[in-house]
Amino acid sequence: MDPFESIKQTFFQECDELLTDAEQGLLAMESGEADDETINAVFRAVHSVKGGAGAFGLEDLIRFAHVFETVMDEIRSGKMELTDEVAKTLLRAFDVLADHVAAARDGGKVEEGRSQGAYSELRGLIGGEDEEDDLGGGGDEDFGFVPLTLSIEGEEAPGGFIDLDAQNAEAGVEIPATDQASRDELASWTVEFSPKSEMYAKANEAGLVLRELARLGETRVTLIDDTLPPLDQLSAEQAYVSWRIQLFTDSDEASIREVFEFVEDDCNLIISRDRAEPSVAEPADDGLSDDDRAAAASANADLDIAALLARVGGGDADAEPEATPESVAELPPAAPPEAPAEDVAALIARAQSVAAPPAAKPATPAPTPAPVAAAPAAAAAPAAVANAAPAAAASVTIRVDLDRVDRLINAVGELVIQQAMLSQRVLESGLARSSNVALGLEDLELLTREIQDSVMAIRAQPVKSVFQRMPRLAREVADMTGKRVKLVMEGEGTEVDKTVIERLADPITHMLRNAIDHGLEDPEGRAAAGKPAEGLVRLRALHRGGRIVIELQDDGRGINRPRVRGIAVERGLITEDQVLSDEEIDNLIFLPGFSTAEVISDISGRGVGMDVVRRSIQGLGGRISISSEPGKGSKFTMSLPLTLAVLDGMVVTAAEQTLVAPLSAIVESLTPRTEDVHYIGGKDAVIRIRDIFVPLIDVGVALGFRETAIDPASGVAVLVESEGGGKAALLVEAIQGQRQVVIKSLEANYQQIDGVAAATILGDGRVALILDVDALVTTQRRKPAARPSEKRMAS
Amino acid sequence: MSKTVLTIDDSRTMREMLNHALVEAGYRVIQAVDGVDGLEVLQANAGTVDVVITDINMPRLDGFGVIEGVRANPEHRATPILVLTTESDAAKKERARSAGATGWIVKPFNPVKLVDAVRRVAA
């Protein structure tokens, strides 16, 4: 992939995280729980979004993020008071910001009015200033992002990247930078450069500046060291030398000045254009290119040491080997600030330490002030390079392609099956349980389990990615319905399989919409009921018994049971005289075709009802139920398996088939007594279990394996409970035992079959179908025994 | 041996950009995710980091803190530091300068200019 596309992807991924953080911060700000760090974090998040947007030239996003950032900056610096109104404005603007990010990612555009509206609102907070600020003007040119092409040949010298070695190799001993003929056409500049000590204190080096200058054209450098005192009076922290450089270049003054950009304030700099043609005699050319010469400068330190040493003895400035015009001298880089004044001996030692081992550390940026301290560091350096690198770059996460994880999971699934088959064969072979083989197999089984759990954990992700979309949704629905909502979320860190997460988004979205639209009263209604105007919706995730449970609770009006019952009767879902418990009435809302909203609003009633929610939850092997208290609110509880890859099942036999019933649905199993089984209308069986009658479903018949049901007394009844509390007893011939099975999707490999959720491969290698308990129960209940006139067999 | 640049930025996007441009130009790059991390990483790589590039706005410890931390460390008192700043942050640029920053890189940066700036300060 194009590296910039890849970085861009990183940017949008990071944006998701940043927006999540920002939103949480903004919510905390709204509720008054935000401390300084929270506000700072929001600022930084928006700042980072803007920074990345700038790099990719995403103008709309930049503009919006900028004004957002400005408001945040005012708040964090205390210039703007964080009122409730400000917080609400920010939250609204945040949604637009998120839209801008999405638009930038998907190549769309945010609706102009919406964007401009939020923009103006933010502007309004800042107040006073002009519509467009600095962003519109000079800053813009910087936002162009030029993809990196560091071609060595194609670059202009200024600002370009020139490989010294490559150029020399091509150019041989010729003067490459500017030849004699063209030099006459070049302007001549004189640059006087006198660093102050502050320049060195900031780790700038004169030698580098000179080398940089030499890139603009041919230079003749003169060292001015008139003020250099004798060595014994030399202060390590002072800057003594300066340079006069004659430069032949076609660059303009701005380009020359740019070379001094970092040091401009810490040096005296005079740049002037020479009027006369540079008709002076050729410099005593040594055949070196400017680059060579500049590069050589750093190696010239010994020259200066010689001069310095000479001065210690002589004390005057006569014998100056470095006074030749073309020598580029580099002082042993000046001492950093606060360095203790060194004595002469130390200075010499330092100078020598610079000069002596040029091969050892040619790239030393600047000598460390105290050689004593430097030595161990230098010695330790190679080791540090060797092992510090991975540690430094270490991150606690790695990114792995999902395909690879899935391949691994599949392989582990096969391993589990293989291991089970092996165990079974060993068992069948008659080896004693205490035999070494059997014991070894037991260990293997434990280990396999452990591997499986670990692999599954790789796919596990916090539900945060789904939860994080909800606050916005809540705000939108609240706006549309004119209600006030506070959404409280807990357990965002609860982990569950990635596939489960992906498929959780729709049900939760739908339920949240419902809770606000139907569950909560409007502010007047709430006031009348003595509740705070702001409705509370609580979204919670937690682990319970090897499953993930998601609860959505509101403090609204609760289920209106008489009305629900009435509607159910009206739609023929129940008969008028049917006796239902409160719980059963509540769960009627999950029946297909049930919708309590008389006017289908565009929020909740999108043609889908709670039955769709329920089906999608069931599709994940989950259950959903509701509990409600009139006037106090409702609570939806979803419980889902942590993974879709394995299932704890009860292996049963029916019609000579081996089938698996999900353990999570099973309440109990029992042997039916003939006197407990009754037939309604002569055919539909019910069984009495502790004074409750439940349908007795012959699984073999229900799945079409046989025409007539077996004698209940000869089989085993497995009492199962479906979502919504519906119970039924599944009649099978025998129970083989409990087993964890690896789920193989039927839909993916064959097609969907009513009453069958999936398939698996058992230890003996046979394929077994996994029962869709809910479908079995629902089918039975929908053609209820209570209405024998409409009776249809499930088969 | 290629020179080593320590990049300190809390934005992954920015780190990847810096990384890409610098690695392309032949530098070895070490990344740190905030100021505290940056100083720790610098300490762990004492003596081998040739240039430090740091963002200003970061959690835990901001860019100014990084500059002060680097300059206070005898080992790295003379290590060049480039700050990442935006054009509008003139005051921040000045503050970074007086804290001891060697130079600056204006965000959003052109990779060529970035490498240019690094080369200008890396001995």
Closest residue, chain A, to B15 (C-alpha): A7
pLDDT band at A396 (very low <50, low <70, confident <90, very high): low
The pLDDT value recorded for residue A539 is 93
**A59 — contact with chain B (CB < 8 Å)?**
no
Whole-angstrom CA distances from A216 to A211, A251, A252, A286, A749 are 9, 7, 10, 20, 69
Q: Which residues of chain A from 587 to 646 reach within 8 Å of chain B, CB to CB?
A: none
Looking up tokens 């590039």, which residue turns up? B53
- Chain A partners of B77 at a C-beta cutoff of 8 Å? 203, 336-339, 368-369
The pLDDT value recorded for residue A709 is 85
Among A167, A212, A7, residue whose Cα is nearest residue B117: A212
**From B11, B115, B121, residue closest to A208, measured CB to CB:** B121
pLDDT band at A660 (very low <50, low <70, confident <90, very high): very high
* Percent share of chain A, pLDDT over 90: 5
- CA dist B45 and B70 (Å) reads 13
- CA dist A605 and A585 (Å) reads 20
State the average pLDDT over residues B35-58.
88
- Chain B partners of A204 at a C-beta cutoff of 8 Å? 80, 102-103, 121
- Phi and psi at A538, nearest 5°, equal -115, 125
Cα dihedral A776, A779, A783, A784, rounded to 10, equals 50
A758-782 pLDDT tens trace? 888 887 778 899 988 877 887 765 4
How many angstroms away from the CA of B94 is the closest CA of chain A?
A: 10
DSSP H or E run through A720: strand A716-721
Q: What is the DSSP string of A148-174?
A: P---SSS--STTS---HHHHHHHHTTS
- With a cut of 50, say whether residue A148 has pLDDT above it: no
Q: Do A202 and B102 touch (CB under 8 A)?
A: yes
ipTM over 0.90? The verdict is: no
Give the SS3 label for residue A638: strand
Angle (CA) A739 A740 A744, round 5°: 120
**A52 — contact with chain B (CB < 8 Å)?**
yes
**From A146, A159, A365, residue closest to B116, measured CB to CB:** A159
**A337 — contact with chain B (CB < 8 Å)?**
yes
**For testing the chain A interface, which of B7, B14, B48 should be mutated: the one with the most A CBs within 10 Å?**
B48
**From A54, A366, A368, residue closest to B107, measured CB to CB:** A54
- CA dist A381 and A20 (Å) reads 41
A319-375 pLDDT tens trace? 444 444 444 444 444 444 444 444 555 555 555 554 444 444 444 444 444 444 444
A294-312 pLDDT tens trace? 444 444 444 455 455 555 5
- CA dist A616 and B81 (Å) reads 56
pLDDT band at B88 (very low <50, low <70, confident <90, very high): low
**For testing the chain B interface, which of A152, A262, A331 should be mutated: the one with the most B CBs within 10 Å?**
A262
pTM, two decimal places? 0.47
- Chain A partners of B71 at a C-beta cutoff of 8 Å? 336-337
**A160 — contact with chain B (CB < 8 Å)?**
yes
